[in-house]
Structure 1
Amino acid sequence: MRSVSFSMNISLDGYCDHTMFNPSEEVLEYFTATLSGVDLLFFGRVMYQLMFPYWADVAQTKSGTATENRFAERLTAIDRVVMSRSLNSVDDKTRIVRSHPAEELLKLKQQPGDKISVDSVSLLPEFIQAGLIDEFQLVVHPVMVGQGRPLLTGGSLQETLNLKLVDTIAFKSGNVALHYLKQ
């Protein structure tokens, strides 16, 4: 069975609005490395539209720094699933799923392959409740933004999820990568 990893950037005050962060080169290198064992990305619509076409354009035009270009190339090479009721079209490496995201992720998890990376704050509580997330990779940015989407909202989990910290990386930029496994 494939493992499922939840990866997310988060502010010090718990918000996940990527438009508020400016990841350093070392953070992008970290995320590029975390994608090395991933062969499927599972996005919600908001995250998909934030990440693509931006990174697809960087991969195609090589318009970023060397680190940004490497991240863009790796990210866009991976097959994707996007959960959306409103998207009408996506790129050729992406498949739209319209309903039952936890059932779809379970089906994908049971198929042969490498790791699945989930990048969707809106779907996180449902996936946790279904027991589908095996690890969490959070990069905490040294900013407080006071707004945006929180990682979890009050009451979104029915029971406490205990995690085991397996790795911590402190970056020169002040970011901290936290890697947890589900216990």
Structure 2
Amino acid sequence: MRPLRYSINVTLDGCCHHEAGLAPDEESMNYWTAQLERADALLFGRVTYEMMESTWRKPATGTWPGWVTGWQLPFAEAIDRAKKYVVSNTLSGVDWNAELVQDNVGQTVQQLKRESGEGLWVGGVTLPRALADLRLIDEYEFVIHPVLAGHGPTLLVGLHERVQLELVHRHEFRSGAIALRYRPARVTV
């Protein structure tokens, strides 16, 4: 079975808005590129899909815009070519190497997990909370930025049940950010 990994940037006060943390640098982009390359496919909700597509879809000209610097290029190439599944009841279609998932999200994700491969990756805010409620997330990875945002969307708001986690990996960045990877704890009765 392929594990489903949830990865997101978050501030110390729990804000997970994409502009609330530290600006990306070469070290963090290399880290995220490696994480994307561990995934056979990406799962996005509509908002995350549209945000990522508007930023990281390679233009029809085949040339990346000038703002994509040399150290951003590996990330841009990795996310552009990745297989994507988009969960949305409002979109009528998707492209950018994507398939639309509109019904039975839990069953669809379970089926994707049963396929062979390295793993699946989910990002965003709303979809991961729904998948956490269904107990479908196998790893949680939080890149915690040394910033207090004071506002914005917060991590996993509305989760129905507590999820006990065990730390399995830690990575410190020169910027002061820390990546912490957890797996749900096995509860013994």
| One-letter amino acid of the counterpart of residue 172, structure 2 | A
TM-fit CA distance, 1:106: 0.9
Residue segments in structure 1 that go unaligned for 5+ positions in a row: none
Moved over 4 A (4+): none
Number of aligned residues: 181
1:29 counterpart residue number: 30
Which of the pair is proportionally richer in helix?
A: 1
Does the aligned pair in 2 maintain the 1:42–1:80 contact within 8 Å? yes
Does the aligned pair in 1 maintain the 2:58–2:80 contact within 8 Å? no
Helix, strand or coil: the match of 1:38? coil
Question: Map of 1:87-166 to 2, 5 A cutoff?
Answer: 87-153=91-157, 155-158=158-161, 160-166=162-168
Cα distance between partner residues in 1 of 2:45 and 2:63:
23
Instruction: Give the structure-1-normalised TM-score.
Output: 0.90
Helix, strand or coil: the match of 1:109? helix
Cα distance between partner residues in 2 of 1:168 and 1:132:
22
Residue segments in structure 2 that go unaligned for 5+ positions in a row: none
Does the aligned pair in 1 maintain the 2:53–2:96 contact within 8 Å? no
Change (3 A) 1:152 1:69: same
Instruction: Give the structure-2-normalised TM-score.
Output: 0.88
Match of 1:67 among 68, 71, 94: 71
Helix, strand or coil: the match of 2:126? coil
